[in-house]
Amino acid sequence: MNGGNEVVAAPAGPPQPLEWKFSQVFGERTAGEEVQEVDIISAIEFDKSGDHLATGDRGGRVVLFERTDTKDHRGPRRDLERMDYAISRHPEFRYKTEFQSHEPEFDYLKSLEIEEKINKIKWCQTANGALFLLSTNDKTIKYWKVQEKKVKKISEMNVDPKAMGNGSIVSSSSSSSSRSYLANGVSPDGPYNYLSNDFSFPPGGIPSLRLPLVVTSHETSLVARCRRVYAHAHDYHINSISNNSDGETFISADDLRINLWNLEISNQSFNIVDVKPANMEDLTEVITSAEFHPTHCNTLAYSSSKGSIRLVDLRQSALCDSHAKLFEEQEAPGSRSFFTEIIASISDIKFGKDGRYILSRDYMTLKLWDINMDSGPVATFQVHEYLRPKLCDLYENDSIFDKFECCLSGDGLRVSTGSYSNLFRVFGCVPGSSEATTLEASKNPIRRQVPTPSRPSRSLGNSITRVVRRGAESTGVDANGNSFDFTTKLLHLAWHPTENSIACAAANSLYMYYA
- Closest to 135 measured CA to CA, from 106, 109, 101, 166: 101
What is the average per-residue pLDDT within 18-29? 93
Q: CB-based contacts of 389: which residues, under 8 Å, 6+ apart? A: 473
Q: pLDDT (tens digit, 9 = 90+) per residue, 377-433?
A: 999 999 999 999 999 999 999 999 999 999 999 999 999 999 999 999 999 999 889
Q: pLDDT (tens digit, 9 = 90+) per residue, 352-368?
A: 999 999 999 999 999 99
Q: Which residue has the higher pLDDT, 260 or 106?
A: 260
In this model, does residue 490 exceed pLDDT 80? Answer: yes
- Closest to 378 measured CA to CA, from 356, 400, 395: 356
Instruction: Give bridge partners of residue 4 from the DSSP assignment.
Output: none
Q: Which residue has the higher pLDDT, 282 or 168?
A: 282
Which run of H or of E encompasses 505? strand 501-506
In this model, does residue 38 exceed pLDDT 90? Answer: yes
SS3 at position 39: helix
Q: pLDDT (tens digit, 9 = 90+) per residue, 187-232?
A: 455 444 444 566 666 676 666 666 777 777 777 889 999 999 999 9
pLDDT at position 235, please?
A: 93
Rounded to whole angstroms, the Cα distance separating 224 from 170 reads: 42
Q: What is the mean pLDDT of the chain?
A: 82
pLDDT at position 7, please?
A: 47
In this model, does residue 136 exceed pLDDT 60? Answer: yes
- The answer to whether 80 and 73 have CB atoms below 8 angstroms apart is yes
pLDDT at position 476, please?
A: 53
Q: Determine the longest span between alpha carbons in the chain, in angstroms.
A: 123
Cα–Cα distance list, 274 to 78, 163, 259, 313, 327 (Å): 54, 76, 9, 15, 19
Rounded to whole angstroms, the Cα distance separating 208 from 210 reads: 6
